[in-house]
Chain A
Amino acid sequence: MTYAFAAPLITFFEYSFYRFRRGRLEQVFTLDTYSRFLFDSYYHVVIYDTLRMATIVTLLSLAIGYPLAYALYRINRPAIQRWLALLIFSPILVSVVVRSYGWIVLLSDQGPVNWLLLRFGVLAEPATLVFNLFGVVISLTHVFLPFVVFPIFSSLTRLDPALKEAAEDLGANWWTTFRRVTFPLSLPGVVAGAQIAFTLALGAFVTPAMLGGGRVLVLPLQVYNATTDINWPVAAVGGMALLVISMVAVAAFNRLLKYSEAR
């Protein structure tokens, strides 16, 4: 089992030390591909765009996911709570290709969102909402929302209600109670959700490929393009970069998680 993962990754690692010249692969040990990757400003832009996209998606997912998780936690009718949970969860069951296609239709120039904006006079002419970073961010947020809502919800349900009552009995109003008691105690859920959203956003391929319109060139797309161009060393180096960034992100979030739990 471990071998099944390790062997392909070792092959991958090996290819990252080869180079690709004049349309063919040269199987000699070299750091050429790495040094080109590290010092070429083109790849700097790719890495920067990847990190920026993942950060925006994570923040937006949290901004929508936290209130939603809180609402799910506060609804005191089990039937409604169950249906809302099912509703939030249900997009996971639909193929990511279908969901991304849905966003293309929704955000297209003659799509419903532009129709509404024009109808109510918000805009004079259709806005370009898709085939750019905006479309990718919105669609990825939609895809990752359940992964953010459920960890937050689960850390909220773990809260001891007595703490809140104590805060209220001591004269704190709801905002102070939320800010000083509920929110700090739900931070582990927030960090866990952010970790999932960020790492998934780093590795997202289908949505940037479909909704980016070639303008959102993130690392997974670069790896894909290099592989189809049979430039395997560049694909391998790009993939290694993605892997390292993901691992650093996971480690950083784990540290943050420990810190948030210690409070």
Chain B
Amino acid sequence: MSEVRLQVQNLCKSFGITKAVQNVSFNINKGEVHALIGENGSGKSTLTNMLTGIYSIDSGHFILDGKEIHPKNQVEANNEGVSIIVQELGTLSGLTVAENIFLGHEARFVKFGIKNTGAMNREAQKLLDQYGFGRIRASAMVDEYNFEDRKLVEIVKATYFQPKIVVIDETTTALSQEGREELYKQMNRIRSEGNTIIFISHDLPEVLRMSDTITCLRDGVYIDTVKSSEIDEEGLKKLMVGREVTGDYYRPDYGEPVSNEVVLSVQNVTVPGQIENVSFELHKGEILGFGGLSESGMHEVGKACFGASFDRTGTVKLYDGTSINSIPQAISHSMAYTSKDRDNESVVMNQSIGDNICLPSLGSLTSIPGILSGAKMKEFARKYAAEMSVKMVDTDQFVSDLSGGNKQKVVLARWIGKDSDILVLDSPTRGIDIKVKQDIYQLMDRMRKSGKSIIMISEELMELIGMCDRILIMKDGKINGELLRSPELDENSLIAKMV
């Protein structure tokens, strides 16, 4: 069990003068799931990217089963017995499923310079069937499948050749509960075959549940390696942040009554192919959660409330009877929205932080009517960027330079500046580290107390349970259950309604 598979020795990697990984050494054993944890930018991905040949090594060594390896690309890494499942989409559009699975290893199907497509498809289909993904057809274009199924294809691609080490880089955040279960099953199988998994995840309960050993990195420096049976969530947080995480993570209160005043009433809303006959009411000062599988339609509910759905029927009305049918209308009636797709739908990437914050409030930042005041814009942007403690050099800096957590802060600063009363937050903490997550939770709690109403859509069940007054669970485009805030509420009761 405790035979060493991979030795990481004095590993260093710099980008310019940023030391992304500094002199990191530790061992990874055979037949274990070894988790790598750390905040955004702690060097986890840099390390595994060097192992899998995506980045080159500055100095230091990877010793795999007693033999030093330094792969120059992913195919070479595969040949050494190392593979990776990446965070975002790792399959190539325009190729078939089979071509994706055997990418870089086509040679085995080539005879006399001609590729035997039939044999390749048969082989790929055999693998898919073995994995229990028989519904995916090997000969089909990978584009025909959704994000989840493409991830399953990647799992096959990364594991079919029995690699000695499989790196799973924050794959689970992109997956729904169902997809995660599939992934967990495969992880257990790989471990039982005596091979090793390096598991990167922000989700600490998941890390504790799935891994045998946990190594923590902070700012590119090795901190510690612990047995997961000997540590708890608080201990991990402390390792990652380097100090106790003070204060409450989620909101602490239970049993506070929610006002009866309805601020938003959604009746019989249908978006073809997405959601069907969804009706609910949002109260003043309430945090209303939406949970479900990724494809359950819950993300569309947020868009529908904000007037951003195409082809919507049914009504979305404010307390005074005003109908919300378009985005500008929603904004002018004090509604706000943050999208799950942060880079495309929330922040204008190639624009300054300042302009991003001011965008919906431009109407009020004028000196003479219609003429914008540069000074007022600057002051406005600075004020709300500071309120959200956005880490930046100046508000003139482009948003594309910021990390995911900071981008989310810019979006929130925009809506706080607009002083919106109804906030629709879709996956507000997706891919964000603990410190910023806590900031966002505390912000939501403050807003709730000041009488603002929040719709929170999330795939993370724990944060729904921790933050919401009421949780609506979506399944196949319909509301499938309602759960009220209570300390007894646990993930299983939510999952039961989801699947």
Tell me if chain B binds chain A.
no
Q: Which residues of B approach A to under 8 Å, CB–CB?
A: none
Q: Which residues of A approach B to under 8 Å, CB–CB?
A: none
